[in-house]
């Protein structure tokens, strides 16, 4: 266990162009965000969880859910998500930041901890680590880990609107300024879509949970992949959805 204050910041808001309110849509009777918080609580490295939302009235329901989940929340800018992250990390005096998104309810603790451990093992040589710089993990299992110092430099230097919206874009777009690390899976599964951005995605995730989430036990990435072997037709539910780009 690391004694550095490692904090997971989960960005969440009710605003979504394709599926409004998606982070509170129910899966097996509980909000989608609830499952991700429970997953983060099982991490062996994370000792703080902050839900970073906005000051918009619609997002009061997200703050209320954070309270029910017994985790912290922070309200910041709706459009400048980078500033929201930086201010949340500063207020909570984090040293290492784990960035995840609430629209990824199939993210597993094992994947989160693998990326965190890689960062902690190499933090003297790396400023930033993720598992999607060279994609191999399914879309929706993305994790980023970086220091507060790295985030502060990004916050100070990033100027483009899309860089402010997507938080870490400035970092991985400037490998000449930041030392980057990538965690790869043992084969390329980047064609699999496990995120939630549309009604089809939500239906797909609900079908996965219906089959794998038993008695409150969180499933593993291996469980998900084994399910796809048994029921490959599940993948057709949302395989036609095109992911939005950073500048869309």
User: Each residue of 129-152: pLDDT tens digit?
Assistant: 999 999 999 999 999 999 999 999
Sorting pLDDT into bands at 50, 70 and 90, what band is 246?
Answer: low
Q: Does 96 map to a domain?
A: yes
Which of 136, 146, 144 is closest to 94 using CA atoms?
Answer: 146
Q: Does 225 map to a domain?
A: no
Q: Does 83 map to a domain?
A: yes
Percent of the chain with pLDDT strictly greater than 70: 96
Residue 214 pLDDT: 87
Q: Does 35 map to a domain?
A: yes
| CATH for 118 | 3.90.550.10
Are the C-beta atoms of 7 and 47 separated by less than 8 Å? yes
Domain carrying residue 91: 6-188
Q: Residue 201 and residue 186: Cα distance in Å, rounded?
A: 25
User: Each residue of 58-70: pLDDT tens digit?
Assistant: 999 999 999 999 9
Q: Residue 27 and residue 37: Cα distance in Å, rounded?
A: 14
Sorting pLDDT into bands at 50, 70 and 90, what band is 248?
Answer: very low
Q: Which pTM was predicted? A: 0.94
Q: Does 217 map to a domain?
A: no
User: Each residue of 89-106: pLDDT tens digit?
Assistant: 999 999 999 999 989 999
Q: Does 243 map to a domain?
A: no
Q: Does 11 map to a domain?
A: yes
Sorting pLDDT into bands at 50, 70 and 90, what band is 242?
Answer: confident
Q: Does 104 map to a domain?
A: yes
Least trusted range by pLDDT, from 176-185, 196-205, 209-218: 209-218
Residue 245 pLDDT: 60
| Counted domains in the chain | 1
The CB-side HSE value for 243 (13 A sphere, CA atoms) comes to 14
SS (H, E, C) the chain: CCCCCEEEEEECCCCCCCCCCHHHCEECCEEHHHHHHHHHHCCCCCCEEEEEEECCHHHHHHHHHHHHCCCEEEEECCCCHHHHHHHHHHHCCCCEEEEEECCCCCCCHHHHHHHHHHHHHHCCCCCEEECCCCCCCCECCCCEEEEHHHHHHHHHHCCCHHHHHCCCHHHHCCCCCCCEEECCCCCCCCCCECCCCCHHHHHHHHHHHHHHCECCECCCHHHHHHHHHHCHHHHHHCCCCCCCCCCC
User: Each residue of 9-44: pLDDT tens digit?
Assistant: 998 998 777 788 999 999 999 999 999 999 999 999
């Amino acid at each position: 266990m690391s004694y550095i204050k490692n904090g997971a910041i989960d960005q969440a808001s009710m605003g979504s162009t394709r599926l409004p309110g998606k982070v509170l849509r129910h899966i097996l009777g509980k909000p989608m965000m609830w499952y991700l918080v429970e997953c983060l609580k099982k991490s062996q490295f994370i000792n703080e969880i902050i839900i970073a939302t906005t000051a918009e009235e619609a997002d009061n329901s997200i703050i209320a859910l954070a309270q029910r989940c017994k985790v912290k929340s922070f309200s910041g800018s709706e459009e400048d998500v980078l500033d929201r992250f930086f201010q949340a990390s500063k207020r909570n005096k984090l040293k290492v930041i784990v960035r995840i998104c609430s629209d990824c309810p199939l993210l597993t603790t094992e994947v989160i901890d693998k990326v965190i451990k890689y960062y902690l093992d190499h933090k003297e040589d790396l400023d930033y680590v993720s598992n999607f710089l060279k994609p191999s993990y399914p879309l929706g299992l993305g994790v980023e880990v970086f220091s507060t110092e790295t985030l502060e430099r990004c916050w100070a230097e990033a100027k483009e609107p899309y860089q402010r919206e997507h938080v870490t874009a400035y970092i991985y777009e400037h490998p000449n300024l930041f030392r980057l690390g990538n965690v790869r899976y043992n084969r390329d599964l980047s064609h699999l879509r496990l995120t939630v951005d549309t009604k089809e995605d939500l239906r797909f995730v609900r079908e996965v949970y219906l089959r794998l989430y038993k008695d409150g036990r969180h499933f593993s990435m291996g469980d998900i992949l084994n399910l796809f072997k048994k029921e490959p037709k599940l993948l057709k539910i949302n395989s036609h959805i095109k992911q939005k780009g950073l500048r869309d």
